[in-house]
Chain A
Amino acid sequence: MQSLVLENLTKTYRFGHLGRRSWTALEDLSLDVEAGEVFGLLGPNGSGKTTTLKAVLGLIVADAGRITVLGRPQSDPAWRAAVGFLPEHPYFYDYLTAVEYLHYAGRLNGMAAALRRARVADLLERLGLARVAHVALRRYSKGMIQRLGLAQALMNDPQLVFLDEPMSGLDPIGRRLVREEILALKRAGKTVFFSTHILSDAEALCDRVALLRTGRLVRTGRLDEILQMDVAHVEVLVTCLAAEVRESLVVRPRVCHVMGERCRLEVDEATLGELLTELTRKGARILAVQPVRQSLEDFFFREMGVTQGQGGWALDD
Chain B
Amino acid sequence: MGSGRLRRIIAVATNTYRETVRERVLYNLVFFALVMTVSGLILRDLAVRQDDKIIKDLGLAAMDVFGTLIAIFIGVGLVSKEIEKRSLYPLLARPLTRSEFLLGKLAGLAFTLLVNLGVMTIGLYATLWAIRLRGALAAPPDAQLLVAVAAIYAGMILVLAVALLFSTVTSSTMAAVWTFALVVVGRYADVIRNMREVVPGVPSWLTELVYYTLPNFAQFDLKNRVVHGESVPLATLVLILAYSLSYSTVLLGVAALAFRRKDL
A39 CB-CB contact with B under 8 Å: no
Q: Which of A68-93 contact B (CB under 8 A)?
A: 77, 80-81, 83-87, 89-93
Check if A110 sits within 8 Å of B93, measured CB to CB. no
Check if B261 sits within 8 Å of A61, measured CB to CB. yes
Check if A80 sits within 8 Å of B15, measured CB to CB. no
Contact with A along B76-90 (1 / 0, CB 8 A): 000000000111011
Check if A110 sits within 8 Å of B92, measured CB to CB. no
Report the minimal beta-carbon distance from A94 to chain B, rounded to whole angstroms.
9
- CA separation between A96 and B17, bound complex, in Å? 12
Q: A93-B15, A95-B19 are in contact. Are A105 and B90 (CB under 8 A)?
A: yes
B4 CB-CB contact with A under 8 Å: yes
In the complex formed, the residue of A with least CB distance to B264 is A59
Which residues of A lie under 8 Å from residue B89 when comparing CB positions?
57, 59, 85, 87, 90
Check if B94 sits within 8 Å of A80, measured CB to CB. yes
Check if A162 sits within 8 Å of B87, measured CB to CB. no
B11 CB-CB contact with A under 8 Å: yes
Report the minimal beta-carbon distance from B89 to chain A, rounded to whole angstroms.
4
Which residues of A lie under 8 Å from residue B94 when comparing CB positions?
80-81, 105, 108-109, 156
Taking a contact as CB atoms closer than 8 A, the residue among A13, A54, A85, A93 that contacts B19 in the complex is A93
Check if A77 sits within 8 Å of B95, measured CB to CB. yes
Check if B91 sits within 8 Å of A91, measured CB to CB. no
In the complex formed, the residue of B with least CB distance to A109 is B94
B22 CB-CB contact with A under 8 Å: yes
B8 CB-CB contact with A under 8 Å: yes
- CA separation between A54 and B263, bound complex, in Å? 9
B142 CB-CB contact with A under 8 Å: no
Q: A85-B93, A105-B94 are in contact. Are A60 and B22 (CB under 8 A)?
A: no
Taking a contact as CB atoms closer than 8 A, the residue among A54, A95, A96, A153 that contacts B90 in the complex is A153
Check if B95 sits within 8 Å of A81, measured CB to CB. yes
A313 CB-CB contact with B under 8 Å: no
Check if A108 sits within 8 Å of B95, measured CB to CB. yes
A149 CB-CB contact with B under 8 Å: yes
Taking a contact as CB atoms closer than 8 A, the residue among A60, A80, A93, A107 that contacts B93 in the complex is A80
A189 CB-CB contact with B under 8 Å: no
Taking a contact as CB atoms closer than 8 A, the residue among A58, A93, A104 that contacts B11 in the complex is A104
In the complex formed, the residue of A with least CB distance to B24 is A95
Report the minimal beta-carbon distance from B44 to chain A, rounded to whole angstroms.
40
Chain B contact surface mostly: helix
A152 CB-CB contact with B under 8 Å: yes
B49 CB-CB contact with A under 8 Å: no
In the complex formed, the residue of A with least CB distance to B22 is A95
Report the minimal beta-carbon distance from A177 to chain B, rounded to whole angstroms.
19
In the complex formed, the residue of B with least CB distance to A82 is B95
Check if B15 sits within 8 Å of A104, measured CB to CB. yes
Q: Which of B96-149 contact A (CB under 8 A)?
A: 96-97
Taking a contact as CB atoms closer than 8 A, the residue among B18, B95, B264 that contacts A96 in the complex is B18
- CA separation between A285 and B181, bound complex, in Å? 84
In the complex formed, the residue of A with least CB distance to B15 is A104
Q: A60-B263, A96-B18, A110-B4 are in contact. Are A91 and B87 (CB under 8 A)?
A: yes
B196 CB-CB contact with A under 8 Å: no
In the complex formed, the residue of B with least CB distance to A81 is B95
B225 CB-CB contact with A under 8 Å: no
Check if A85 sits within 8 Å of B90, measured CB to CB. yes
In the complex formed, the residue of B with least CB distance to A103 is B11
In the complex formed, the residue of B with least CB distance to A61 is B261
6 nearest A-B residue pairs (beta carbon): A85-B93, A95-B22, A107-B11, A87-B89, A60-B263, A80-B95
Q: Name B residues whose Cβ lies closer than 8 Å to a Cβ of A.
A: 4, 7-8, 11-12, 15, 18-19, 22-23, 85-87, 89-97, 261, 263-264
6 CB < 8 A contacts A-B: A60-B264, A87-B86, A90-B86, A91-B85, A95-B19, A110-B8
Having A86-B90, A90-B90, one finds 9 other A-B pairs with CB under 8 Å, namely A54-B264, A80-B95, A90-B89, A95-B23, A108-B8, A108-B12, A109-B94, A109-B95, A110-B4
Q: Name A residues whose Cβ lies closer than 8 Å to a Cβ of B.
A: 13, 54, 57-61, 77, 80-81, 83-87, 89-93, 95-96, 100, 104-105, 107-110, 149, 152-153, 156, 162
